[in-house]
Amino acid sequence: MIDVDKLTSLPLFLKYKKMITYWLENPEEHDFPAAQDYLELIYAPDIAKQKVDLLRKAPTVQKKAKDILRASMLSMLPESNIHVKANIKKVKKGGKLSPILLVRGSDKLIIADGYHRVCAIYFLSEDLVVPCRLV
């Protein structure tokens, strides 16, 4: 994770400080079975399990919300979507979201878990950095 106290630029400091307050340090345990359920729609169950095992071990990296959505080729969910709305409300009240789980597909990025969360953050600012596990 980034040590915000070592950032020398005030705008950078504020950007990363805000990002840190929105996110948990690690994905929640229930995110991994959810990712596997989704990945089993795309891959054979044994391949999906292998990818989830890799996600569990992968380091957390930061990517911009707009880049994640663009690479996934998914349409933006509306701000009125019940899950997007709940995630926006959660972070505005000081709650934290779980990092998202990403898999590199052959021609696009797969959001294995966290599609609603990345859309919610995009509505707050498309340039916000999103912690994710990427394999």
d(CA 10, CA 28): 31
Give the residue from 55, 68, 69 showing the smallest Cα distance to 133.
Answer: 55
Count of structural domains, the chain: 1
- In terms of Cα–Cα distance, which of 107, 132, 134, 114 is closest to 42? 107
Helix, strand, coil fractions of the chain, as percent rounded to 5: 50, 15, 35
Q: How far apart are CA 47 and CA 40, in angstroms?
A: 8
Higher pLDDT, 106 or 103: 103
pLDDT tens-digit series, residues 6-20: 544 555 444 554 545
Q: What percent of the chain clears pLDDT 70, i.e. is strictly above it?
A: 85
Q: Which domain holds residue 114?
A: 4-134
pTM of the predicted protein model? 0.84
- Using 50, 70 and 90 to split pLDDT, how confident is the model at 3? very low
Q: What confidence tier does 125 reach under pLDDT thresholds 50, 70, 90?
A: confident
Average pLDDT for 121-126? 87
Residue 9: per-residue pLDDT: 52
Q: What is the mean pLDDT of residues 123-129?
A: 85
For residue 127, name the pLDDT band (cuts at 50, 70, 90): confident
